[in-house]
Structure 1
Amino acid sequence: MKGLFHKRKFHFLISAILITGFVSACSDGSKSKQPTEETQVSIKQENLTLKYTSGIRSILEDSKGNIWFGSHQEGAALFDGEGLTYFTVENGLSDNQIRSIYEDEAGTVWFEGGKGLSNYDGDKMTTVLARDYNSKTQWQLEEGDLWFKGDETVGFNPTETHPGVYRYDGSKLIYQAFPVELKGGGETVYSVSTPFIKRSNGSVWFGTYGAAIGYNGTDFEIINDERLGLDKQTEFLHIRSLFEDSKGNLWIGNNGIGVLKYDGENIINFTQLHNLTKAETGGNSLEKIFSIGEDNEGNIWFGTYQSGVWRFDGKSLTNFTEEDGLPSNQIWTIYNSKQGELWFGGASPSGVYLFNGNSFERKY
């Protein structure tokens, strides 16, 4: 893909990005506590409807056929085909906010909390504390790597000392600092706000509140306010989702300025292109994007805050709301299941919803 990465040295400096704050809808604060030395045992429940009320932030189908759900404030749940088993900080999770769930090559399932990391080995849940801070600027990229946000909800702790991510290489967690210069407000600007994505060209991308950062094993590419020419009048980046579609396009969902589409050469504001700002529609808009996905037919889906979901078929967009069976006004995550179903994790009310081709119905 032409022009994807500009040659940049690790020590290059980026002008500070200032953001004015966040709306209440994007709050990532979570109530957490340190796990006790002897964690409580989780008990399976036969009720197959998730009991969560705070929202579904993450979904994973693991290699054993289990389905995992991460909530916004209430821990994680495991569906084994027969019942639901719930996990919280009392059962070994690092935090009750579960932003992302991954499975490593050994079959261990990892949970990225609002604070900290934990994993499940098929028998027990454990908070993972060991870290390697000796190679912060020595970035590497291997096919089987997993990547996680820093240990704090936002910002970084005294050991991390700089915004960055943890790379799990199959044996240990290695902290890697982003190649950015901090100025006023930078602690929040470069806090990771999305799950990482691995692109078809082999690069890995991270969404932070104020920048999308890509790394291809050699060079970095950074999409930020400065590059896009954004300022107080246009509003700044506030990234809440990253997604690569089947055609290799990178989609960047923002809470405020809408969704950006990057084909490797040009970045366009897709929301403005289709006249879907609230000022133009007078109602539901495509401005506050919290999740992006693609179905098996190549349609791109956008989950929003307060405006339901939108489907783009390559030519036009269709909006689905409560009238179409989607009661949640915020869609945290969109997941394409192994069965080819598209699942939507929502909040207010909380649940996992399935699109059946015409309307939405509750799945879990």
Structure 2
Amino acid sequence: MKYIHLYSLFLMLVFHTSCDGQNQTNASQDNFSKEHNGHSESQIKELATSKVPVSQVRHVKQARNGDILIAAAWGGAFRYDGKSFTNLTSSKIGPHRFWDVLEDRHGNLWLASTDSGVYNYNGKAFQHFTTREGLANNRVMCIYEDKAGNIWFATGGGASRYDGQSFQNFTTKEGLSNNDLTTIMEDKTGKIWFGTRGEPCFYDGKTFTIFKNKDGKAFKNVWSIIEDKKGSIWFGDVDGLWRYDGSTFTKVSQRGAYAIIEDKKGNIWTTGEVNFNGWALSRYDAKSLYNKKPTVTEIISGPPAFLGLLEANDGSIWFGSGSGVHRYDGKTFTDFKSAAGQK
């Protein structure tokens, strides 16, 4: 078993952060309290001016040109071009608890925060969206672009869909299973799936359906949902990894699954808590995925928590942690917070 030693100002999974946020285009002037989830104002300012991500990274995405996009809590949104990092937010919108990042089909950058709503960056200026503009809630944990080009937001007060002009919100009044959302995914048939702090559900464009297992019981607290190349839906929660092939449920593993991805070879990768205070990056072998006991390899473990996952164009695996972002090329790990990782 390999261990990586990552030191930082890490806070374990603070799940219930909320803030009304301010409707200001110049978000650097947004008011924020002197204490944020254990970080002092001076610590937050230090994180926000770092040249590399050194704080909690919940999501890692890839831009259309192959650059790596990182959302770091209080540290900002970073772009990595293969040689160096650029902090896109430090001098423009100031410190916020960034949770997710997405580049849409038009090249606009979207940033989700759990303290001040959503920011859109067109390469020149930021636009700020909060409840005043129609967002369901200012605590936003996931951004997703559907096939039609709509941008979806998983918020602490329901799902918001933005068509480029206005927001349409979906809550329990419309049939959503729970208003506290964690993730969003569209499958090949066009259904929109929602992970929530309660039961997951999907929306077919008309109605919502709460998703239950083979025993008729609803899943709880689903943090990740993906669809694999075969069309199976995978769910991850603190209790394990599940697969649904359209008719049959299979509990693939007892290992917790915070994030899930399928790589180009068909392997399933997860990050998650595997024992008390122990987290791991794990790979499930493609050839054995549908066996009764799939072959799983624990790539790395330890604290701190391992969070967001991405397979880059070159096949390397990127993952966020409580102290920054890391890359695994199949042989070696790079911790970009370290001096060696910044070269």
Give the aligned partner of residue 52 of structure 1. 54
Q: 1:211 Cα shift?
A: 1.6
RMSD: 3.4
Query: What are the ranges of 5 or more consecutive residues in structure 1 without an aligned counterpart?
Result: 1-23, 42-46, 135-140, 157-163, 231-235, 277-285
1:187-208 superposed Cα distances (whole Å, 9 cap, x missing partner): xx530112x1121222221111
Give the aligned partner of residue 191 of structure 2. 203
Matching of residue 329 in structure 1 with residue 301 in structure 2: no
Cα–Cα, structure 1 residues 28 and 178, in superposed 2: closer, same or farther, change >3 Å? same
Give the aligned partner of residue 212 of structure 1. 200
* SS in structure 2 of the partner of residue 91 of structure 1: coil
1:336-347 equivalence runs, <5 A: 336-347=311-322
Equivalent of 1:297 in 265, 287, 294: 265
Matching of residue 190 in structure 1 with residue 179 in structure 2: yes
Equivalent of 1:176 in 160, 166, 170: 170
Give the aligned partner of residue 6 of structure 1. none
Equivalent of 1:253 in 236, 259, 282: 236
Equivalent of 1:26 in 13, 31, 34: 13
Matching of residue 111 in structure 1 with residue 111 in structure 2: yes
Q: Is the 8 A contact 1:60 1:101 kept in 2?
A: yes
1:106-150 superposed Cα distances (whole Å, 9 cap, x missing partner): 22111121141111110223322463589xxxxxx8621110023
Q: Is the 8 A contact 1:35 1:90 kept in 2?
A: no
Q: Which amino acid aligns with 2:308?
A: T
Q: 1:237 Cα shift?
A: 1.5
Q: 1:72 Cα shift?
A: 3.2
Q: Which amino acid aligns with 2:280?
A: G
Q: Is the 8 A contact 2:201 2:211 kept in 1?
A: yes
Cα–Cα, structure 1 residues 228 and 113, in superposed 2: closer, same or farther, change >3 Å? farther
* SS in structure 2 of the partner of residue 92 of structure 1: coil
Distance in 1 (CA, whole Å) between partners of 2:102 and 2:190 is 18
Give the aligned partner of residue 144 of structure 1. 149
Q: 1:26 Cα shift?
A: 3.2
Equivalent of 2:250 in 268, 289, 308: 268
Q: 1:169 Cα shift?
A: 1.4
Q: Is the 8 A contact 2:154 2:181 kept in 1?
A: yes
Query: What are the ranges of 5 or more consecutive residues in structure 2 without an aligned counterpart?
Result: 1-10, 30-48, 137-145, 289-293
Distance in 2 (CA, whole Å) between partners of 1:104 and 1:291 is 21
Once the two structures are overlaid, the 10-residue window that deviates more, 124-133 or 199-208, is 124-133
Q: Which amino acid aligns with 2:63?
A: D
Give the aligned partner of residue 281 of structure 1. none
Q: 1:35 Cα shift?
A: 7.5
Q: 1:86 Cα shift?
A: 2.5
Distance in 2 (CA, whole Å) between partners of 1:211 and 1:92 is 35
Q: 1:209 Cα shift?
A: 1.2
Q: Which amino acid aligns with 1:168?
A: Y
Cα–Cα, structure 1 residues 142 and 320, in superposed 2: closer, same or farther, change >3 Å? closer
Cα–Cα, structure 1 residues 225 and 263, in superposed 2: closer, same or farther, change >3 Å? closer
Give the aligned partner of residue 282 of structure 2. 310
Q: 1:71 Cα shift?
A: 1.5
Q: Which amino acid aligns with 2:329?
A: N
Distance in 2 (CA, whole Å) between partners of 1:106 and 1:312 is 34
* SS in structure 2 of the partner of residue 339 of structure 1: coil
Give the aligned partner of residue 161 of structure 2. 167
Give the aligned partner of residue 291 of structure 2. none
* SS in structure 2 of the partner of residue 352 of structure 1: strand
Q: Which amino acid aligns with 2:154?
A: K
Give the aligned partner of residue 356 of structure 1. 329
| Greater fraction of residues in strand | 2
Distance in 1 (CA, whole Å) between partners of 2:213 and 2:166 is 34
Distance in 2 (CA, whole Å) between partners of 1:354 and 1:191 is 31
Q: Which amino acid aligns with 1:318?
A: T
Distance in 2 (CA, whole Å) between partners of 1:299 and 1:68 is 23
Q: How many residues align?
A: 285
Q: Is the 8 A contact 1:190 1:211 kept in 2?
A: no
Distance in 1 (CA, whole Å) between partners of 2:50 and 2:74 is 19
- Aligned identity (percent) is 24
* SS in structure 1 of the partner of residue 58 of structure 2: strand
Distance in 1 (CA, whole Å) between partners of 2:18 and 2:171 is 27
Q: Is the 8 A contact 1:89 1:96 kept in 2?
A: no
Q: Which amino acid aligns with 1:360?
A: F
Q: 1:344 Cα shift?
A: 1.4
Cα–Cα, structure 1 residues 121 and 224, in superposed 2: closer, same or farther, change >3 Å? same
Give the aligned partner of residue 319 of structure 1. 298
Q: Is the 8 A contact 1:70 1:100 kept in 2?
A: yes
* SS in structure 2 of the partner of residue 193 of structure 1: strand
Q: Is the 8 A contact 2:224 2:236 kept in 1?
A: yes
Cα–Cα, structure 1 residues 240 and 60, in superposed 2: closer, same or farther, change >3 Å? same
